[in-house]
Amino acid sequence: MNTEMMMQLALIIAKILMVLLPVVGAVAYLTTIERKVIGYIQQRPGPNRVGFAGILQPVADGIKFIGKELIFPRMSNIYLFFLAPILSFAPAFVAWSVVPFDVGLVIADIDAGVLFVLAMTSLGAYGVLTAGWASNSKYAFLGAMRAAAQIISYEIAMSFALVGVLIAAGSMNFTEIVLKQQGGLFSWYWLPLFPLFLVYWISAVAETNRAPFDVAEGESELVAGFHVEYSGMGFALFFIAEYANMILISFLSALLFFGGWLSPFEGLGVLAEVTAFIPGLFWLLFKSAVFLFLYLWMRATFPRYRYDQIMQLGWKVLIPVALAWLPVVALMVKLGLLG
């Protein structure tokens, strides 16, 4: 291997680490912020003992996870049992490779970015399924079954919602989709695609198995769902994957429907000039943070859906709504209102 190839390899690894490490850090702090936000909504301060106001809480959690014993159930399939956390952890991070943070600030600027992300988020379902199957536990199995059925159902609604974005933008490349939305708050796709945005958001929450669609975990009936039998780092990997997926979904919402790194004050004269110094990355992170807060806010507000209600919502409401709005989007594009 010559030096040029080595340099290229080092550059790629550096790029990956520049995305991976902040995401892992964000995951760690999202767990604490979740407890804080839910605590605040319940009029408690949340974790505030470790470090100043609880800022070292994720470190303490991490040390605890590493220190825990790994337990393998006696009749479980040990290879699949070991593989399952990796299967759900890896795709959650691979999907980040196509997420752009600004023009050119992306690991892999591929043309089928949306498709790639859809494929990767669906692969996460295999981790859940494998975990439920390999655990040889009725709770884990039921949780996995529910998760699989739910993810498959909501995938369809989510994909249809994204088809609307693709029609409007005429591209599957994230950077191009964002750049198509230029022109300020009301040019972003959330306005013309508002019903699709709602469908996308609801199915995205269901895709990540978060409240109020967290029947796969369903602690009140299934103990902890598909990861009952996991302890220590095995459990931690599932946990990290779930939160990484949440952050990914929030970024995708910001990119596809809320103009990514574009400033909301674009084309507003004085306001645009005053806020011109704010970097695009800030806007992207800000929009994603709003969606992450919405995740936690919803979790603190809504009771869990019943399983049959989830299926009904996915198949009988979200898919028809998405299908009904697609012709409207197509018409808007034909009439030149969009894109």
Partner 1 sequence: MNQFYIILILAAFGLVFWLLRGKQWARQLLLLDFVRGLKVTLPYFFKPKITVQFPEEHTPISPRFRGMLALRRYPNGEERCIACKLCEAVCPALAITIEAQEREDGQRRTTRFDIDAFKCIHCGLCEEACPVDSIVLTSNMHYTMRKRGENIMTKEKLLAIGEAYESEIAACREVDKDER
Q: Binding residue for partner 1 (CB under 8 A) from 23, 27, 30, 37? A: 37
For residues 199 and 322, what is the distance between their CA atoms, to the nearest angstrom? Answer: 7
User: Distance (Å, rounded) from C-alpha 33 to C-alpha 200?
Assistant: 24
Residues 6+ apart with CB under 8 A from 270: none
194 binds partner 1 (CB under 8 A): yes
CB of 316 to partner 1, least distance (A): 10
CB of 37 vs partner 1, minimal distance in Å: 7
The reply to whether 45 sits near partner 1 by the rule CB under 8 A is yes
The DSSP call for residue 304 is P
191 lies in the binding site for partner 1 (CB under 8 A)? yes
Q: Does 118 bind partner 1 (CB under 8 A)?
A: no
Q: Minimal distance in Å, beta carbon 194 to partner 1?
A: 6
Please state, in angstroms and rounded to a whole number, the distance separating the CA atoms of residues 239 and 85: 9
Report if residue 47 touches partner 1, rule: CB under 8 A: no
**By the rule CB under 8 A, 28 interacts with partner 1:** no
Which of 20, 149, 198, 224 binds partner 1 (CB under 8 A)? It is 198
Mapped onto helix, strand or coil, the DSSP state of residue 103 is: coil
Considering the complex, state which of residue 223 and residue 298 has its C-beta at the smaller distance from partner 1: 298
Of 325, 300, 322, give the one whose Cα is nearest residue 313. Answer: 322
Applying CB under 8 A, among 41, 86, 110, 268 the residue interacting with partner 1 is 41
Residue 42 contacts partner 1 per CB under 8 A: yes
Quickly list H helices, the chain: 3-41, 57-67, 78-94, 113-134, 138-169, 174-180, 194-207, 219-222, 232-257, 270-274, 280-301, 307-312, 319-334
The helix/strand/coil state of 38 is: helix
Of the residues 64, 138, 186, 267, which one makes contact with partner 1 according to CB under 8 A: 186
Site for partner 1 in 280-339 (CB under 8 A): 297-298, 300-302, 317, 321, 328, 332, 336-338
Residue 70: Cβ within 10 Å count: 12
Give whichever of 137 and 263 is closer to partner 1, judged by the CB atom: 263
Crossing angle for the helix pair 113-134 and 138-169, nearest 10 degrees?
170
- Per CB under 8 A, contacts with partner 1 among 68-97 are none
> How many residues sit close enough to partner 1 to count as binding (CB under 8 A)?
27
Using CB under 8 A, list all residues that contact partner 1: 37, 39-45, 186-187, 191-192, 194-195, 198, 297-298, 300-302, 317, 321, 328, 332, 336-338
